[in-house]
């Protein structure tokens, strides 16, 4: 405060603010809030997915040339699932694809013949590959495992329910292009 001005004049000077300063003071917080909302929406659409942990499953031929060849040919995406990193140590002959809000799709190559796969088993042919399906419903899982049974190596693909035929179609295309068809080897029908 200068000695020549009255307290009323000083109050007028303090209250007079530049319109540009007022606009900046108002716009800055609004821009910050909009930026935070946009960042939250983008982060919600592309969340960081954790590596997938796969437990051990008997796969005696997971290191075979056929399985190595198949794993090298697998796509980075299956439908809207992205290829996942596996928690180390990861099992041989295994791969996974994930998306947020869903269980992963898991592929395992070199498995033992499924116990349920016998001469009476119903098969489905998808894009040239013969598949044997085992539903997880009976054991409380919301997924099915499909076994490719005509390639010399048993290949199991576990797909969460509600994903339609796309995963099996895309895997069939890769399997057909990578591994030659082989004769089926179902177990004999068990006689009671």
Question: Which pLDDT belongs to residue 147?
Answer: 98
Give the chain's end-to-end CA distance (angstroms, integer): 107
Q: Is the pLDDT of residue 180 over 80?
A: yes
Cis check for the bond before 138: say yes or no (omega within 30 of 0): no
Question: Which pLDDT belongs to residue 138?
Answer: 84
Query: Per the structure block, which two tokens stand in for 11?
Result: 């109050």
Question: Which pLDDT belongs to residue 43?
Answer: 46
Per mean pLDDT, which range of 14-18, 24-28, 85-89, 94-98 is the poorest?
24-28
Going by pLDDT thresholds of 50, 70 and 90, the confidence category of residue 40 is very low
pTM reported for the whole predicted model: 0.75
Mean pLDDT of the chain: 85
Q: Is the pLDDT of residue 29 over 90?
A: no
SS3 84: coil
Tens of pLDDT, residues 43-54: 455 567 899 999
Question: Which pLDDT belongs to residue 192?
Answer: 74
Q: Is the pLDDT of residue 5 over 80?
A: no
Radius of gyration of the chain (CA): 30
In Å, how far from its chain's centre is CA 115? 28
Question: Which pLDDT belongs to residue 182?
Answer: 97
Residue 103: count of CB within 10 angstroms of its CB: 17
Going by pLDDT thresholds of 50, 70 and 90, the confidence category of residue 6 is low
Question: Which pLDDT belongs to residue 191?
Answer: 76
Q: Is the pLDDT of residue 39 over 80?
A: no
Residue where the block lists tokens 């290191």 = 63
Q: Taking residues 124-129, what's their average pLDDT?
A: 98
Question: Which pLDDT belongs to residue 31?
Answer: 47
């Amino acid at each position: 405060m200068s000695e020549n001005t009255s307290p009323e004049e000083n109050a007028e000077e303090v209250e007079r603010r530049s319109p540009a300063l007022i606009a900046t003071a108002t716009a800055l917080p609004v821009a910050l809030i909009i930026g935070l909302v946009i960042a939250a929406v983008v982060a919600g659409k592309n969340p960081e997915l954790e590596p997938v942990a796969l437990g051990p499953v008997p796969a005696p031929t997971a290191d075979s040339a056929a399985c190595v060849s198949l794993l090298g040919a697998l796509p980075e995406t299956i439908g809207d699932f992205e290829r996942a990193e596996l928690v180390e140590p990861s099992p041989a002959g295994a791969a996974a694809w994930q998306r947020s809000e869903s269980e992963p799709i898991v592929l395992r190559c070199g498995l033992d013949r499924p116990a349920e796969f016998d001469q009476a088993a119903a098969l489905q042919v998808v894009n040239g590959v013969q598949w044997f399906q085992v539903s997880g419903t009976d054991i409380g899982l919301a997924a099915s495992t499909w076994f490719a049974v005509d390639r010399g190596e048993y290949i199991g693909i576990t797909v969460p329910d509600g994903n339609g035929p796309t995963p099996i179609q895309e895997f069939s295309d890769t399997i057909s292009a990578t591994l030659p068809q082989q004769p089926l080897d179902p177990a004999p029908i068990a006689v009671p």
